[in-house]
């Protein structure tokens, strides 16, 4: 009779020496729980963040609110966040965001001292104002409809990120539960 509990104790001792189960890749139950919680929180954040709402035009002002800003192009720079434009006589810089796609098309249409019309949000008073429609020498290069389409597509990535994190959390939760069940069976007398 005393042999059986001792044998189980030895199994448990040997199990703990090897690490917390080979299936859990050496993670402890507490680490697994913490990682599951973290991954679940990241997934929830990706799905609920105001600027990353899947399939919406969040952050994009309505077309009827935009105001045109006109001037001659004095400088243009291709940056990691989009194309920065400077117009003659305008105190702020203008940025055509990379989120709106079509940078190559915009960049090719630019010329020194060409007449630019940029549609911006009148409530945007930052140093770099975001451009939502561009016309060069009277011809529209990127329309609001083009920008809106790409903006919504860019926002839909949150759905994929959130889904990935939710699946990862389910998998980690399953691993933790499986290890807990295995441990509880080893501890039973």
pLDDT at 69: 94
- Whether residue 93 sits in one domain with residue 80: yes
- Whether residue 148 sits in one domain with residue 80: yes
Which range, 25-39, 66-80, 151-165, 175-189, is most confident?
66-80
The residue that leads in pLDDT, 22 or 70, is 70
Number of helices followed by number of strands (H, E) in the chain: 5, 6
For residue 44, is it left (φ>0), alpha (ψ between -120 and 50) or beta? alpha
Exposed, middle or buried by CB within 10 Å (0-12, 13-18, 19+), for 113? exposed
pLDDT at 1: 47
- Whether residue 107 sits in one domain with residue 181: no
pLDDT at 99: 86
> φ, ψ for residue 14 (rounded to 5)?
-65, -40
- Whether residue 181 sits in one domain with residue 111: no
- Whether residue 149 sits in one domain with residue 96: yes
pLDDT tens-digit map of 116-162: 999 999 998 888 899 999 999 999 999 999 999 988 887 777 777 77
Q: What is the CATH number of the domain that holds 148?
A: 2.40.50.140
- Whether residue 134 sits in one domain with residue 93: yes
Residue in the block written with tokens 């199990």: 15
Measured distance CA(30)–CA(106) in Å, rounded: 52
Contact 125, 93 (CB under 8 A): no
Beta partners for residue 76, in sequence order: 85
Q: What is the DSSP letter of 153?
A: H
Instruction: Provide the sign of the torsion angle of the four alpha carbons 109, 115, 119, 121, taken in this order.
Output: positive
Contact 141, 109 (CB under 8 A): yes
pLDDT tens-digit map of 41-53: 877 776 666 554 5
Considering the chain, what is the average pLDDT of its residues? 79
**Quick check: is 75 in a domain?**
yes
- Whether residue 169 sits in one domain with residue 113: no
- Whether residue 149 sits in one domain with residue 73: yes
**Quick check: is 3 in a domain?**
no
- Whether residue 162 sits in one domain with residue 144: no
- Whether residue 102 sits in one domain with residue 139: yes
From residue 125, give the alpha-carbon distance in Å to each of 80, 92, 103, 173, 178: 22, 9, 23, 46, 55
CB atoms inside a 10 Å sphere around CB 73: 19
Structure tokens at 115: 């007449």
Tally of domains within the chain:
2
Range of the domain at 82: 63-153
Beta partners for residue 73, in sequence order: 87
- Whether residue 118 sits in one domain with residue 89: yes
Structure tokens at 86: 């400077």
- Whether residue 149 sits in one domain with residue 168: no
């Amino acid at each position: 009779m005393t042999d059986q509990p001792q044998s189980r104790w030895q199994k448990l001792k040997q199990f703990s020496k090897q690490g917390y189960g080979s299936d859990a890749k050496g993670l402890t139950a507490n680490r697994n729980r913490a990682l599951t919680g973290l991954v679940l929180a990241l997934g929830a954040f990706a799905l609920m963040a105001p600027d990353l709402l899947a399939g919406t035009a969040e952050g994009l002002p309505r077309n009827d609110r935009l105001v045109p800003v006109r001037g001659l192009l004095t400088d243009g720079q291709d940056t990691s966040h989009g194309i920065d434009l400077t117009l003659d006589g305008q105190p702020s810089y203008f940025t055509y965001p990379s989120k709106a796609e079509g940078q190559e098309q915009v960049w090719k249409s630019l010329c020194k001292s060409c007449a630019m019309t940029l549609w911006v949000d009148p409530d945007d008073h930052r140093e770099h104002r975001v451009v939502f429609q561009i016309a060069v020498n009277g011809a529209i290069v990127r329309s609001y409809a083009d920008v809106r389409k790409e903006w919504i597509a860019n926002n839909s990535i949150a759905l994929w990120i959130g889904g990935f994190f939710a699946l990862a959390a389910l998998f980690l939760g399953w691993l933790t539960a499986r290890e807990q069940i295995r441990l509880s069976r080893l501890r039973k007398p």
